[in-house]
Amino acid sequence: MVDLTHRVRAWPIALRDLSQDKENPLPEDFKMRLTRRQTLLSAAALPLGTAAMTGAAKAEAHVGAPDLPTHRDFMVGDIAVTTLLAGSRSVPDPHTIFGLNVDDTTFQEASEANFIPSDAAQFFFTPTLVQTDGNVILFDTGQNAAGTVAALEAAGHAPGDITHVVLTHMHGDHIGGLTTDDGGRTYPNAAYVTGQTEWDAWAAMGDDGFDTKVRPLEADTTKVAPETEIAPGVTSVEAFGHTPGHMAYRLDSGDASLLLWGDTANHYVWSVGHPDWEVTFDMDKDAAAATRQRLLSMLADERMPAIGFHMPWPGAGYIARDGDGFRWVPVSYQLM
């Protein structure tokens, strides 16, 4: 296990009483909602992004789908897990992103069979908070600080509460929230964890986002290999392909487990249902497809829940085998 105990803040941070939210719901003014077409984006050239927004627009547009809560609590044994809705937006022409190796008719038929349009998709951006053994760990930071911090605060946490930030990979919608609009650290008390292979690959790319957001944090970053326990009950899992060193993380507590799969699969139909379909943003498409097949098979066989960064809100579900592919089964009340 990586020794990160020296990074934990001096005072103890206890797990939240999850019943508190039910008895004392947050005021409505914490739940900022926008229309479906509004967007949350920061710097240009994000994998699923568009043009940059002003700081004021970011602060206002942290949720892009109507009437959705900004967070959802789950329990995995004794580990508290909270998904954070940092943003949502509509994406046109999804066949230019998913199913690059199939024709329009095949794509349309798969969409219609699942009651979704083939000419647009709704994307969700979902960092995840994990609380275990006094650590408050944020997995990925969203497209910018405003969206993630708003959801985090609605869930009862301040940025200063975060003891560790874990980056599954270096795409802009996962690292964009590392810094505030003025360039400061969003999570001032946090240490950072990412994969060694991922770090090395991006450090050699000359990528502006990595060089601006991530490289300055190197002195406070622990770089790990797969199968490393980064905190009690939290283990890195190889998920290479989407990016050179993309990593998933497995949570284990007692008899309960859950996989945080990052961007292993980015749509519940076009990636989960068809793991061999090529995706624009998978840097190594063959490796990404093999990773999807391997991890989705594991989840189906072990009947283990998973959280995907871009899965439909609240981002959690199960995987069932379905013909040559798989089927996403959204979580309802199983993890309460």
Closest CA to 275 of 300, 293, 263, 256: 293
327 and 113 in contact (C-beta within 8 Å)?
Answer: no
User: What's the confidence (pLDDT) of residue 19?
Assistant: 35
For position 240, what pLDDT does the model report? 98
Distance between CA atoms of residues 244 and 188, nearest Å: 28
Neighbours of 24 (CB within 10 A): 9
C-alpha 296/C-alpha 48 separation (Å) is 23
Query: Cα separation of 165 and 149, whole Å?
Result: 13
The CA distance from 239 to 150, in Å, is 29
pLDDT number for residue 186: 98
Domain membership flag for residue 309: yes
Any domain includes 278: yes
Q: Give the pLDDT confidence score for residue 68 in this predicted structure.
A: 86
Residue 1 pLDDT? 64
pLDDT at 66: 56
Beta bridge partners of 231: 234
What is the C-alpha to C-alpha distance for residues 28 and 62, in angstroms, rounded to an integer? 15
Number of domains in the chain: 1
Could you write out the DSSP letters of every residue in 107-147?
Answer: HHHHHHHTT--SSEEEEEE--EEEEETTEEEEE---SSHHH
pLDDT tens for the 336 residues of the chain, in order: 665 543 433 222 232 333 334 444 434 433 333 232 233 333 323 344 333 333 333 333 333 455 789 999 999 999 999 999 999 999 999 999 999 999 999 999 999 999 999 999 999 999 999 999 999 999 999 999 999 999 999 999 999 999 999 999 999 999 999 999 899 999 999 999 999 999 999 999 999 999 999 999 999 999 999 999 999 999 999 999 999 999 999 999 999 999 999 999 999 999 999 999 999 999 999 999 999 999 999 999 999 999 999 999 999 999 999 988 899 999 999 988
- CB-side neighbour CA atoms (13 Å) of 188: 5
Q: Per DSSP, what are the bridge partners of residue 252? A: 257
Do residues 199 and 246 lie in contact, with contact meaning Cβ atoms separated by under 8 Å?
A: no
Is position 96 within any domain? yes
For residue 327, the Cα-to-chain-centroid distance in whole angstroms is: 20
Backbone torsion region of residue 24, taken as left when φ is above 0, otherwise alpha when ψ lies between -120 and 50, otherwise beta? beta
- The answer to whether position 110 is within a domain reads yes
- Name the pTM for this structure: 0.82
State residue 325's pLDDT score.
87
On whether residue 336 sits in a domain, the answer given is no
Supply 34's token pair: 């926008």
What length does the chain have? 336
* C-alpha closest to that of 166 among 145, 135, 137: 137
**d(Cα 171, Cα 168) in Å, to the nearest integer?**
9
- State residue 3's pLDDT score: 56
* Alpha-carbon span 172 to 143, nearest angstrom: 6
Integer Cα distance of 45 and 52 in angstroms: 9
Residue 316: domain span: 5-330
Res 336: pLDDT:
81
Which phi-psi region, left, alpha or beta, contains residue 332 (left: φ > 0; alpha: ψ -120 to 50)?
alpha
User: CATH number, domain at 271?
Assistant: 3.60.15.10
